[in-house]
Amino acid sequence: MFIIRPIDQKDLDGLMQLLEKSGHGLTSLPKDPEVLKKRIRISERSFLHRGDGPGGEDYLFVMEELFTGKIVGVCAIISKIGGFEPYYFYRLEKTHHESKSIHVKNDVTSLHFHFIHNGPAEICSLYLHPDFRNSQNGRFLSLSRFLFIAENRKHFEDQVIAELRGMVNDSGHSPFWDAVGKYFFKIDFPTADYLYVKNKKFIEELMPKYPIIANLLPEDAQFVIGKVHLNTEPAKRILEQEGFRFSGLVGIFEPGPVLIAEVDNIRAIRESIVGEIEEISEKPFKTEMYIISTTSGTFRSALGGVTRLKSGNYKISGVTAAALKLRLGDKIRFVSFKPKAPAKKKASAKK
């Protein structure tokens, strides 16, 4: 069984072991103990000290195998991006050109340097150990964050983005970087990726402000614009099922797509229910799978069953109660693990 909870300093070694297999592209979590230690401190401070609204808090969560204590996944939410240090993207624009005199039509794609000071929230830093990757664990790791947002709604912006990992191979090679980035930054891709975490200022200092015409780039560089890494395809599908859509923005170094959603329209937030525990069953009972989280104290989330009783309160299993450290009378927030399939329309009778 797995739980998702806030990270703390004792998780540093486990996080470092987890990230050993992360390869290139997990920009926000470099394999640098000092950077990670600082990120954990920021996260701990974010959970403890919050203002009345979003102020750029950085919440980092780990997915823990309950019976072994092994850290098998990580994910994060930033309450608001931008501020003193903006976030940088390319904005894609397509224009149609046509010459009637020579009967030629052509679409031109251009990339425009774009930065955000007063931004939305962001879900980020999602990584799951390869040995634990399956549709259940990946979905649970991704969607549990939305229950935290739902429970702490006033601390997050009204929109949320997800910058997805672009197409970079295991050795850190990016065809887009080779065609664009290396000519402006004069460093290799992994170095730029690492420096971006420590200080983003060099982006604005070195990046040209004029548009880049994608049609002039080599074909392999054009192909990866707006595409995601093979390992990121499942995460993209999950977010799209929850209501995310392409924002028109892509990353600066490896131009993976940036998805966006209205927070209150995200399925896991919109359909989540808060209820009181009236019964904790030691016997298994049949129910669909839910993502369940605590509503007070330290945030914890797990997968389990929930049954509504005649009283309007709810029953959960003893295993779930123990994992989330819940007792009778406590409240939970829960949502269906997967979106419900749309009802099939009945075929009309033939006359």
| Residues annotated as catalytic (active site), given as ranges | 229
Q: Cα separation of 10 and 196, whole Å?
A: 26
Count the residues in the chain: 351
DSSP letter string, 85-110:
EEEEEEEEEEEEEEETTTTEEEEEEE
| Phi, psi angles (nearest 5°) of residue 21 | -100, 10
Q: Is 240 helix (H, G, I), strand (E, B) or coil?
A: helix
- Non-local (6+) Cβ contacts of 32 within 8 A are 194
- Spatial contact of 252 and 200, defined as CB atoms under 8 Å apart: no
H-assigned helices in 102-232? 135-151, 175-176, 182-185, 189-198, 201-206, 219-223
- Spatial contact of 30 and 108, defined as CB atoms under 8 Å apart: no
Q: Is 175 helix (H, G, I), strand (E, B) or coil?
A: helix
3-state secondary structure 273-330: EEEEEEEEECCCCCCCEEEEEECCCCCCEEEEEEEECCCCCEEEEHHHHHHHCCCCCC
Q: Region of 181 please: left (phi>0), alpha (psi -120 to 50) or beta.
A: alpha
Q: Cα separation of 46 and 345, whole Å?
A: 47
